[in-house]
A and B are shown apart, each in its own frame.
Chain A
Amino acid sequence: MSLLLLVILLLLAGVPAGAARAHAPDGRPLVYGLSAGACAIGGLAALAAIGAPPATLSLPLGLPWIGAHLRLDPLAAFFLVVVNLGGAGASLYALGHARHETMPQRVLPFHPLFLAALNLVVIADDAFTFLFAWELMSLASWALVVAHHREQENLRAGYVYLLMASLSGMVLLLAFGLLAGPAGSYAFAAMRAAPPAAGVAGTVLVLALIGAGSKAGLVPLHAWLPLAHPAAPSHVSALMSGVMTKVAVYAFLRISLDLLGTPSWWSAVLVLALGGATAVLGVLYALMQHDLKRLLAYHTVENIGIIFIGIGLAMAFRADGFAAAAALALTAALFHVFNHSVFKALLFFGAGAVLTATGTRDMERLGGLIHGMPRTGFTFLIACAAISALPPLNGFVSEWLTFQAILLRPDLPQWGLKVMIPTDGALLALAAALAAACFVKAFGISFLGRPRSEAAGAAAETDRFSRAAMSGFAALCLLAGVLPGALVDVLAPAVQSLLGARMPAQLGLPWLSLVPVAAARSSYNGLLIFLFLAAATSLSILAIHRFASRAVRRAPAWDCGFPDARPATQYTADSFAQPIRRVFGALIFNAHETLSLPPPGDTAPARLTKHLADPIWDALYAPVQTVVAWAAETLNVLQFLTIRRYLAAVFIALVALLLALALWQ
């Protein structure tokens, strides 16, 4: 506990250091080295604390009658591991990557501040500290989003992000207000001791879904995410997508499963429905993108959906008293939290390396990068396979566990759950398959094929710090996929602390298998699959090279006899996604194409125009934006009043408040 405080203090010390030495040559290694070291210590301390009993600490800070309560229980410890692992990786990556930063003074101070805030949210044990840290996290990340403020698009992203972040903070404030009740006890321990009545609990859950869900990127509150995450520098994008969304998941778990006690079954239906919709819509949005970083950000939305499906299952099973099933579902969700923080960070690292090497995020101008950037390409490929849930990597394990939870089918009495759970199974399967399509596109268009621009052709490998961070995370993807039992056992105390039940211990099993319930029911052995794959591949290569032929001849591409030397004849990101756009997009995005052919004899080019609409943006965000803009325009008048009128306004407000107080009593 005290070690973690030290970590947070170290990170906070990085803020003035970053501000002071932003332009000095030693500023970058100082700040990022400090962050990496602090996060490494924090991660190890948290890892040790997962199995330990909860530790609490009260500091005489903040509001005098509340103080600052901190608590490190297994759930918080697990999320601290995720936060600090991501933080250490991103800082290591930034050691090299940030060399190309044009405005270090706008990035360096906020990076450690952001990390400190992330840590603080997770260990906060009263509403005030929690909200303070939450807002700090939002503001620090906002500052990083608008770091490159000269680009119009980033400013817009920052504006939308700021709106959504304040909405999320405000809604969470309301939720905690309701939880605290009339007694006004803002410590989590007091809330835990006295869970609210059913009606209030329902309201709090909906508020938590809005507040934490909007931060995590739950549909329909996701629209800010794909704007804001790509706008930040790449290591910050990795942190926002990989870590900050997980902290939001933590907030939801803390409120829904810890502070609220046993959830009601309809709230589980709500979470399941939102999770399923988020998973499928997120990946469909991602498929329509051709900006690499935006594609990755939309994909975060999908993965958040998968995590929420797991949480919804856990809530459903818990509501009906199936503790073991709930533990399996929550383990799956937490496993996916870890997985996504690893491979999404890795993907953003790769995207950052591509951005540095080529100067563009537009996939239509990339291609063939695997030749110039082999190491980046390889690690990016590992991450693509992992996020597409392909064995023997880690993404497959968490989705497999989620399916096992669906398949348990305890005898749930509610019809809503009986229909919703199988439907979510289908949605999850659809999302997983579409994710594979999406990452074939992401990797195939950016790294394979022929370069579509000069910059892509001249791309060179990234620096060694970035490569180290990427290789480390790629190794983690493989390790967690091959030895999933170890990770399941590590996060078992976190599940136990929330649900009072856990999955059976995995590490003692023969061959290091993963057996969620019973061996006759289902088991998966990543290690053996990996070994079999490795053996089959190397055996076939060896045998064929030894006994058949190893001769190779390089020749121009065949392409059915009509090779075209121009790279423009390749499939593009848009054309690759066209079949899927046609199958799914017509319904959801009102996607259609118009073709204008010039008349015969006219030498004008033919044009194929693609139309896409975002129904959620049009229906939800555009009206809100209009109202906010109108209100700002109208209230602008208030800035030009005389002193007397200002005084009058203050006076009227005071009287109105007193009047309200009088009427209240």
Chain B
Amino acid sequence: MSGGLSLSVANTLAGLMVLASFLMIYQDRLSALINVLAAHAFVLALAVAWQAHVQDAPELYVTAAITLGFKAMALPMALRRIIVRLGLHREIEAVTGVGLTVLAGIGLVALSLDVMLPVTAHADPLTREDVTLALSVVLLGLLMMVTRRNAVSQVAAFLSLENGIDLAAAAAQGMPMVVEISVAFSLLVAFLVIGIFLFRIRERFDSVDVRALDAFRGERR
């Protein structure tokens, strides 16, 4: 296995995740958004598996399998069921200023390059690129959480952010299994809580637009 190829494949997979993050920012249909999210997690699984192969770390294969089963299949299916039950699957979210958001996203990628490349100057090039792009994915997820109003897309953004953290962890020469499992578990809990909240919000306000919450808080004050 030549160093150049393993580097460029790892690089490409990480790049695909960034691309998927941009697609999520651009996508305004909820069901399509969930498809992109699934693709995002699928690429993550591939990237982790590749890292397992390159680093010769079998435990990372387990991580990849968990990612594939849980994040790329189970979570998107659950989300899809939620939006079908909420009757949102045809909904188009009014996303304003896609161009500006994407532009800001590019700025964030440039920022993470700017920050990470000098800091990790002496690290393994494989780690270096992946960590840099992983930071971009995290920042893009945060950006999307900030710019979206719909609670479901905020959940999707949160999940993509978490994928970025996973990528960084896998690239940083593996992380302990315990951490991985606990992260997955906390994610599950977070997902359940968010899911319950979504239904409660919906019941209460007839909408999952989080602006409704602002108005509600204003009433109480």
Contacts and interface: CB of A to CB of B under 8 A. Distances in A.
A419 interface: yes
Interface residues of B, number: 4
Interface in B80-100: 99-100
Nearest to B97: A587
Interface of B: 99-100, 110, 114
Q: 3 closest A-B pairs (Cβ-Cβ)?
A: A419-B110, A415-B114, A587-B100
A415 B110 CA distance: 10
A415 B118 CA distance: 11
Contacts of B114: 415, 419
A587 B114 CA distance: 28
Contacts of A587: 99-100
A419 B117 CA distance: 14
A414 to B, nearest CB: 11
Interface string A377-417: 00000000000000000000000000000000000000100
Contacts of B99: 587
A587 B98 CA distance: 12
Nearest to B99: A587
Contacts of B110: 419
Contacts of B100: 587
Contacts of A415: 114
5 contacts: A415-B114, A419-B110, A419-B114, A587-B99, A587-B100
A544 to B, nearest CB: 44
A415 B115 CA distance: 11
A415 B114 CA distance: 7
A578 B24 CA distance: 29
Contacts of A419: 110, 114
Interface string A403-437: 00000000000010001000000000000000000
A419 B110 CA distance: 8
A410 B72 CA distance: 42
A415 B107 CA distance: 13
A128 to B, nearest CB: 46
A457 to B, nearest CB: 42
A415 B116 CA distance: 13
A457 B173 CA distance: 77
Nearest to A426: B106
A226 to B, nearest CB: 27
Interface string A571-595: 0000000000000000100000000
A419 B112 CA distance: 12
A611 B99 CA distance: 22
A66 B114 CA distance: 51
A659 B114 CA distance: 53
A587 B100 CA distance: 10
Nearest to B117: A415
Interface string A135-148: 00000000000000
B138 to A, nearest CB: 20
Nearest to B110: A419
Nearest to B111: A419
A419 B106 CA distance: 11
Nearest to A583: B99
B121 to A, nearest CB: 13
B28 to A, nearest CB: 17
